[in-house]
A and B are shown apart, each in its own frame.
Chain A
Amino acid sequence: MMNILSGDRPKSVILSVLLAVILLALAFAPFLFPGSRSLETAARICIFIVLVASYDLLLGYGGIVSFAHTMFFGMGAYGVAIAIDRLGTGYGAMGLGALVGMVVAGIVALLIALLSLRVRAIFFAMITLAIASAVAVLVSQLSQFTGGEDGMNIRIPRELTPAFRLGEVFGTRVNGKVLNYYLVFTGCLVLFLVMLRLVNSPFGRVLQAIRENAFRAEAIGYRVVFYRAMATCLSAMIAALAGSLFAIWLRYVGPSTTLGMEIMLDILLMVVIGGMGTMYGAVVGTAIFVLAQNYLKELMGGLSEATSALPVIPDLLSPDRWLLWLGVLFILSVYFFPTGIVGRLRGTR
């Protein structure tokens, strides 16, 4: 067990329970929460855990601010979409698309890193912003390739679609969508464990050292530029793989689902809510954020009705104000848990 977790104990009972609940809920989501909407939410949580964790590998461990993370996410998604579009439906095309997306993401990340990290970390943030914007424009312009603003529908193998029926298990109809979910779940679990491994390796320790004091890390013999470049590269490749899974899951890819700045902001929020510099923070932050995003509206609608006899309160709780409350939740969480929920649970300052 400790080996699977790379010796990274949650170090808090509450956190361990929380993580176990999230893991079990995701592992049995199709049976525990039947219905396409909840499965949609569960898949999104899986994928965003990987995306957020891979971003935290950069920000929380390496101390590098990047705005291009969704671009790498998009590269994986478009890789699958374009490969299937050109080569026809099939697992081979799907795998090839994911592989090419990952490699391209890795190379682009390496180039950006080597060009800009030498100079200064802040320069890196600006470069990534510029490149991500440029790529977003490019994607919407090259419509014969990428489908432009409309995006592309992806014809994935039939076994992964709802049309493929398998029968019933525990009273739940198992179809291709459930298989697809388990592809996503397994892929994300493996990627997460890989990242857990990375951050607890000697390499991960160097990243933490660089975040703490890059000047010192360099002085004791670590070539900071190379370590940062490596972290950027790995983080981009993992984000791309998450993107591939997302495209397969949605059977669609478009600028709004992968490349948008709103997604970049969501990622940042999830990292901060969960806690920077810990992989488990990504799990908790993502789960809470995605759930809030998907169910806060309903919850408020319910509360608003339940309090309809009272003055003012039903108005405040009106479902239209869910975004406001999400903002309030965010501010409160940053105020009370400046080191994120996981940082708080682990008792670090």
Chain B
Amino acid sequence: MPQPSLVTRDLTVRFGGHVAVDRVSCAFTPGELTAIVGPNGAGKTTYFNLISGQIRATSGRVELMGRDITGLAPSARTEAGLGRAFQLTNLFPRLTVLENVRLVVQARERRGFNLWSMAMGHRDLIAEAEAVLERVRLTHLADQTVSALSHGDQRKLEVAAMIALKPKVFMFDEPTAGMSVEEAPVILDLIAMIKADPEATVLLVEHKMDVIRSLADRIIVLHNGALVADGKPAEVMASEVVQEAYLGKELTDV
């Protein structure tokens, strides 16, 4: 059994009186794709925000590669190997597609504090960004500004940015949300490709059961902020807990 890359211990956040994530303890290992499911408002996105640092935990810890990252800023967590794609498209809208990816490569290579060289002179960064665009088939749009792209292409670009970042842990929050039936498989193929790397740990929030069935090695279920089920896809999907969670009934014996 490989060492877990990402661990959360009793991770909790309270907004006023509302506990959005409630003592979630979970470990994720390389080579595994874990689907995180749960009804709307269950706390999936908030759980992601706690892991990647956009929201500070009320209590509990987050460990990445054995290192406590609970107190770190989002940028420091990214440097440490965490990659996050957002539920709502989150890019640099007025910059070009290529620049969006180039900035990610530049961040990963830690060249941002280069004050005196020309950005265009860092050919290797540009070449790598172009290679990533090639992989996700966005090369023809490289010089377009992002705001001119279709929603589907923007989501693709977000996945491209994750590929460019080369994190140890990939976190996807409903990557196919709002995409047409024709477009979604492209994204899923890309995620399957990422998953094929045995070093990669992948966390995927997803509602579509067929997607989960085809990609997930494991499912965890969040309900009212708490982790209520964790196991192989077939088992978890068959379990009563999940059925009830999705039907929105009261959970009785958890």
B180 to chain A, nearest CB (A): 25
Q: CB < 8 Å: which of B73, B86, B92, B165 contacts A218? A: B73
Q: CB < 8 Å: which of B86, B92, B107, B112 contacts A203? A: B112
Contact status of A204 and B95, CB under 8 A, knowing A220-B103, A221-B78 = no
B104 to chain A, nearest CB (A): 5
Question: Which A residues touch B115, using CB under 8 A?
Answer: 198, 201, 203, 234
Bound: A222/B75 CA distance, A: 5
Is A248 among interface residues, defined by CB-CB distance under 8 A? no
Is B99 among interface residues, defined by CB-CB distance under 8 A? yes
Q: Is the CB of B90 within 8 A of A200?
A: no
Is A172 among interface residues, defined by CB-CB distance under 8 A? no
Is A212 among interface residues, defined by CB-CB distance under 8 A? yes
Q: Is the CB of B112 within 8 A of A200?
A: no
Question: Which A residues touch B118, using CB under 8 A?
Answer: 6-7, 197, 200-201
Is A227 among interface residues, defined by CB-CB distance under 8 A? yes
Bound: A220/B103 CA distance, A: 8
Is A158 among interface residues, defined by CB-CB distance under 8 A? no
Q: CB < 8 Å: which of B74, B95, B122 contacts A219? A: B74
Residue in chain A with minimal CB distance to B94: A212
Residue interface mask A189-218, B partner, CB < 8 A = 1 = 000000001101111111011001101111
- How many residues on chain A are close to B (CB under 8 Å)? 29
Residue in chain A with minimal CB distance to B107: A221
Bound: A7/B120 CA distance, A: 8
Is A64 among interface residues, defined by CB-CB distance under 8 A? no
Is A261 among interface residues, defined by CB-CB distance under 8 A? no
Is B117 among interface residues, defined by CB-CB distance under 8 A? yes
| CB pairs A–B below 8 angstroms (29 shown) | A7-B118, A197-B116, A200-B118, A200-B120, A201-B115, A201-B118, A202-B114, A204-B119, A206-B112, A209-B92, A209-B95, A212-B92, A213-B92, A215-B54, A217-B103, A218-B73, A218-B75, A219-B74, A219-B86, A220-B103, A220-B104, A221-B75, A221-B78, A221-B104, A221-B107, A222-B75, A223-B76, A227-B112, A230-B113
Query: Which residues of A does B touch, CB under 8 Å?
Result: 6-7, 197-198, 200-206, 208-209, 212-213, 215-225, 227, 230, 234
- In addition to A220-B165, A221-B75, 7 A-B residue pairs with Cβ atoms within 8 Å of each other are A202-B112, A204-B119, A206-B112, A208-B95, A216-B92, A220-B78, A220-B103
